[in-house]
Amino acid sequence: MNHAATSQLGPDVAQRDFQLHLGMGIFLGTVTMLFGAFSSAYIVRGSTSQDWQAIQLPSFLWLNTLVIVISSISLELARRAGKAGDWRRAGIWLGTTLVLAMLFFGGQLAAWEWLWAAGISVPSTPHSSFFFILTGLHAVHLLAGLALLGVAGARVMRVSANDPVSERRAFLPMSVGAMLWHFLAALWVYLIIMLTLFA
Amino acid sequence: MSEPQSFLRKYIFSLDHKIIGIQYIVTGFAMAIVGGLLSLLIRLQLGWPTVMWPILETLMPNAYQSGVMAPEFYLAAVTMHGTIMAFFFISYVLVSGFGNYLVPLQVGAKDMAFPLLNMLSYWIGLVSALVMIMAFFVEGGAAAAGWTAYPPLSALPGAVPGSGLGQSVWLLSMALFIVSFTMTSLNVVATVFSMRAKGMSMMRMPMTVWSFFIASVMGLLAFPALTAGAIMLLFDRHAGTAFFLPAGLIIGGNLVEVGGGSPLLWQHLFWFLGHPEVYVLILPALGINFDILAAFTRKPIFGYRIAVWSLILSGFLGMIVWGHHMFVSGMSPFSGEYFSLSTLLITIPMAVVGVCMLGSLWGGRLKMATPGLFALGLISMFGTGGFGGLFLGNATADIQLHDTYFVVGHFHLMIGGVTVFGTFAAIYFWFPKMFGRLMNETLGRVHFWITTIGYYLIFLTQHFVGLQGAPRRYYAFGSYEYLEQTATSNEFISIAAMVVGAAQAMFIFNFVWSMFRGKVTDTNPWRATTLEWSLPSPPPHGNFATPPVVHRWPYEYSPDGGENDFAGQQVDGGNVPVTA
Ligand code: HEM
Ligand SMILES: [Cu+2]
């Protein structure tokens, strides 16, 4: 993690930054196992029973998938801008990311609403149980990502360029948050494929 | 780091890994008292099933109506005993407690990587323990589906009294436990990766650190399976889903409406955690044991590199053998073969570890004090317990032995013997570092001998009771003619259990008494080599005044004797020997 701001602040700070990224990496490892466990449950429950009934999912979920993928890209652009010290651009891309994130949450709510209106709830069929639990769990993790990006946004707005301390404070939540966010975007793509194509 | 001054910040809401470690240790022992008393109640019932206990009726009127233990309470007691011992005693004292205390000290760090997370982990852990205890006081009593919480017993709130609120409380407590344990494991892994002192290469880490590191990685990878299972179970219980409830289930004469799920799915998810969990518990005991052995044999341990790789390998294999708990569950013979094979494979690295321990004794100048005695006891438990495991790992034999007292005897020697002896060895060994005083040696030795002999009497006898066909989790054997032959053995086991229980009271007395009255000792009473022994006892806030530099591996002892038969890892100069 050798970006512009940190390298001026000495080895202790660089070490701290490394640790924070490492911590997030380890955390993502256990989250991977969590969804892995759910996936194998999905396969077992689906293949060993007679009562499996696939539910129809709203097609706008694919649009929502596009939204979260783009948000991931814009966050990456923000992160790179921040790393280069271009805070105006970083702010713009981070703002874009936050808007897209909200859009995704909106789409998620709409999807739940849509199913609800069609009379499908958690216990309706095993497939719907998995759908609600997995997307819900994903959303919970997204909230954590959103919180990190929110902190980053607040700090980017108040960053004073060429002050390494303030730059680091703005960059860190963005960079650690990006790890989480990219992961969750990829996870979403995986989930939606599993839940629709392998229903 | 500046040291906080107020009592509250220094000892209660402390960020210091040493305080947090001791908090975990004390909490874990408090839980062990509860779990231990439960086991004595269980033994009272199994040893003398027809005797009435008016005192117990006065103490627990619901559980002991007219002086006899209620069958539902027996199930709850077994469940809570197992849960508490595995998750709230050993996990807290040995893994979270000593892990916290030792890892930063032994890698030469000032604290864990994330001290705030660490404090949170303890407080969530404490709440989780309290919630678990609370289960006894809710309507219907504590959970009764076993520490494995198999559905449908755990999934249908109406199945037995404990399946009601008690089971929900159990799940809530376990969820908190997982959060807390994940935080600690994350900290251990991050600390080992990022905070090792200069010169502390991975292959210079003490076995203790290696074992905590591997155990933490395993915990991080295995616990999510239980999290997933617990979430689904909660939905089955409260939201009408049918992940685990099979179709056509009849409870109390009524057909259960929901169904189509798979109880086997739970077993897979549970044991995907459950088996790694026993390695999470046992590996630290083994790692610690190597380091204690080295100090008491005054020679390098045998095969450091081999032992490290064996621990890593067994950790890896430990993740893929869970199905051996399910041989009789109706899994396909093909899976049965696979799990048999992988289980027999895992005995190889485990046997290598055992051989390394025995080899470590070879040619040593055994100078025994209590920690060394417990270290030897651990080796013996490990051997005996592992021997039983050989039989159980073979699916053909296990079909006979599963769910009998043979299994109970086996796992108590392993997760109850190896881990408990490791815990005691660690306490006696590091007590002087924690408090600057030694524990009483005579009491320690008496504690060791009663515990060791008692453990064998209890759990070896259980093996034979199991071979006679006695099933586990039965409330009373009196109604089965073929089990009448076990009555004397059961009485015998129960008496031995009472004696072992009493010896633990002595240990607790020794612990508390020595904190204030124990013999004051210098910083390195065992003349050991790892970094914590170069520090004052107790080590100051922030541990090292200046960042330490490590010059050698942790096993530089020479058996030719003398005052200077060892060199601490921080000692510069001299010839640095080749490891292993
Ligand atoms: C003197 C000490 C102990 C005695 C006398 C004792 C006794 C027992 C008994 C009688 C059972 C019930 C067996 C059954 O009906 O299935 C049991 C279960 C169990 N014990 Fe212990 N125990 C002791 C210490 C420990 C320790 C130290 C641990 C863990 C580190 C432990 C872990 C367990 C577990 C996991 C179970 C299985 C619970 C279940 O089936 O759900 N025990 N113990
Ligand atoms: Cu196992």
Summarised one tens digit per residue, pLDDT across range A137-166 is: 999 999 999 999 999 999 999 998 888 899
Cα angle value A183/B194/B320 (rounded, 5°) = 60
Is residue B291, in this structure, part of any structural domain at all? Answer: yes
Environment of ion ligand 2 (residues, CB < 5 A): B 275
pLDDT for position B497? 97
A44 interfaces chain B, CB cutoff of 8 Å: yes
Can you tell me the mean pLDDT for B119-147? 95
Higher pLDDT, B1 or B19: B19
Split at pLDDT 50, 70, 90, the class of B222 is very high
- CA B411 to centroid of ligand 1, rounded, Å: 8
Work out how many domains chain B is built from and give that number: 1
| pLDDT at A51 (0 to 100) | 83
Residue nearest to atom 8 of ligand 1 (CA): B39
The percentage of residues in chain B with a pLDDT greater than 90, rounded to a whole number, is: 76
Confirm whether B35 is domain-assigned.
yes
Residue B69 three-state SS? coil
Dist. CA B455–CA B464, nearest whole Å:
14
Confidence of residue B204 (pLDDT cuts 50, 70, 90): very high
Three-state SS at B437: strand
The CA-atom distances, in angstroms, between B322 and each of A127, B121, B285, B496 are 27, 27, 21, 32
Q: Is residue B519 part of a domain?
A: yes
Question: Would the pLDDT of A2 be above 50?
Answer: no
d(CA B214, CA B280): 8
Backbone region of residue B561 per phi and psi (left: phi > 0; alpha: psi in -120 to 50; beta: other values): left
- For residue A175, the model assigns a pLDDT of 96
- Average pLDDT for residues B502-512, to the nearest whole number? 97
Contact B286, B418 (CB under 8 A): yes
What's chain B's average pLDDT? 92
| Level-2 CATH architecture, domain A3-39+54-197 | Up-down Bundle (1.20)
Residue B461, amino acid:
T
The predicted structure's pLDDT at residue B159 = 83
Give SS3 for B557: strand
3-state secondary structure of B291: helix
The model's pLDDT over A112-131, given as tens digits with 9 standing for 90+, comes to: 999 999 999 999 999 999 99
What is the pLDDT, as a whole number, of residue B66? 85
Q: Does B305 fall in a domain?
A: yes
Q: Residue B255 carries which DSSP code?
A: E
How does pLDDT run across A47-97, given as a tens digit for each residue? 887 888 889 999 999 999 999 999 999 999 999 999 999 999 999 999 999
Residue B404 DSSP code: B
Band of pLDDT at residue B575, cut at 50, 70 and 90: low
Q: What are the Cα distances from residue A47, in Å, to A40, A43, A123, A199, B328?
A: 10, 6, 18, 11, 21
Give the closest ligand to the alpha carbon of residue B326.
2
Contact B208/B102 with Cβ under 8 angstroms? yes
Which pLDDT band, with edges at 50, 70 and 90, does B218 fall under?
very high
Cα–Cα distance between B90 and B92 in angstroms, integer? 5
Q: pLDDT tens for residues B302-317?
A: 999 999 999 999 999 9
User: Is ligand 1 within 6 A of the CB of residue B500?
Assistant: yes
d(CA B420, CA A77): 53
Span B106-133, average pLDDT: 97
Nearest ligand, measured from the Cα of B318: 2
B215 vs B422: CA distance, rounded Å: 15
pLDDT (average), residues B148-162: 89
A175-184, pLDDT tens digit by residue? 999 999 999 9
**B333 C-alpha to ligand 2 centroid (Å):** 18
The reported pLDDT for the residue numbered B12 is 84
Q: Rounded to whole angstroms, how far apart are CA atoms B310 and B284? A: 14
Residue B517: the pLDDT is: 95
| Whether the Cβ atoms of residue B213 and residue B234 lie closer than 8 Å to each other | no
Least confident of A153-167, B2-16, B126-140, B455-469: B2-16
**HSE-CB for B459 with a 13 A CA cutoff:** 24
3-state secondary structure of B254: strand
Full DSSP string of A11-38: HHHHHHHHHHHHHHHHHHHHHHHHHHHH
In a 3-state reduction of DSSP, which class is residue B127? Answer: helix
Work out the angle between the directed axes of helices B99-107 and B165-194 (0-180°, nearest 10).
10
Q: Within a domain: residue B4?
A: no
- Taking CA atoms only, the protein residue closest to ligand 1 atom 35 is B82
Is the CB of B452 within 6 Å of ligand 1? Answer: no
Euclidean distance between CA atoms B167 and B304, whole angstroms: 44
pLDDT at B574: 59
- Pick the atom of ligand 1 nearest to B281's CA: 30
* B579 has a pLDDT exceeding 60: no
When pLDDT is averaged across residues A23-47 and rounded to a whole number, the result is 95
pLDDT of residue B254: 80
User: Is residue B250 within a helix (H) or strand (E), and if so which, with residue range?
Assistant: strand B250-251
pLDDT band with cut points at 50, 70 and 90 for residue B578: very low
The residue ranking higher by pLDDT, A90 or B159, is A90
Domain that holds residue B119: 15-247+257-562
Per residue in B320-373, pLDDT (tens digit) is 999 989 888 877 888 888 998 998 899 999 999 999 999 999 887 777 899 999
Q: Is B553 exposed, middle or buried (0-12, 13-18, 19+ CB in 10 A)?
A: buried
Residues above pLDDT 70, as percent of chain B: 97
Residues 6+ apart with CB under 8 A from B437: B431, B514, B515, B517, B518, B519, B520, B521
pLDDT band at B5 (very low <50, low <70, confident <90, very high): confident
The more confident residue out of B554 and B158 is: B554
pLDDT at B398: 86
Q: What CA–CA distance (Å, rounded) separates A104 from A65?
A: 8
For residue B258, is pLDDT > 90?
no
Assembly ipTM: 0.93
pLDDT at B565: 84
* CA separation for the pair B295, B525 (Å, rounded): 10
B401 Cβ below 6 A of ligand 1:
no
Let me know: does B531 contact B197? Beta carbons within 8 Å.
yes
Give residue B559's pLDDT band: very low, low, confident or very high (50, 70, 90).
low
DSSP B471: B
Q: Which of B88, B378, B403, B412 to mutate to test the pocket of ligand 1 (most atoms within 8 A of CB)?
A: B412
Task: Examine residue B3 and state whether it is found in any structural domain, yes or no.
Answer: no
Residues 6+ apart with CB under 8 A from B426: B94, B98, B288, B292, B371
Q: How confident is the model at residue B162 (pLDDT cuts 50, 70, 90)?
A: confident
How is residue B422 written in tokens? 């490791």
For range B30-49, the mean pLDDT:
96
Task: Assess whether pLDDT exceeds 90 at residue A8.
Answer: no
- Measuring CA to CA, how many Å separate B533 from each of B19, B549, B565? 17, 14, 15
- pLDDT above 60: residue B1: no
Inter-chain touch B260–A51, beta carbons under 8 Å: yes
CATH number at residue B420: 1.20.210.10
Mean predicted confidence (pLDDT) in B478-505: 93
Prior bond to B152 cis, omega within 30?
yes
Q: Is residue B574 part of a domain?
A: no
Residue listed under structure tokens 């233990």 = B69
pLDDT at B561: 63
| Mean pLDDT along residues B139-165 | 90
**β-pair type (B254-255, B250-251):** antiparallel
Question: Is residue B571 in a domain?
Answer: no
Please report which helix (H) or strand (E) contains residue B251, including its range.
Answer: strand B250-251
CB contacts of B227 in chain A (<8 Å) are 34, 37
B410 lines ligand 1 (CB under 6 A): no
3 state SS for A120-179:
CCCCCCHHHHHHHHHHHHHHHHHHHHHHHHHHHHHHHHCCCCCCHHHHHHHHHHHHHHHH
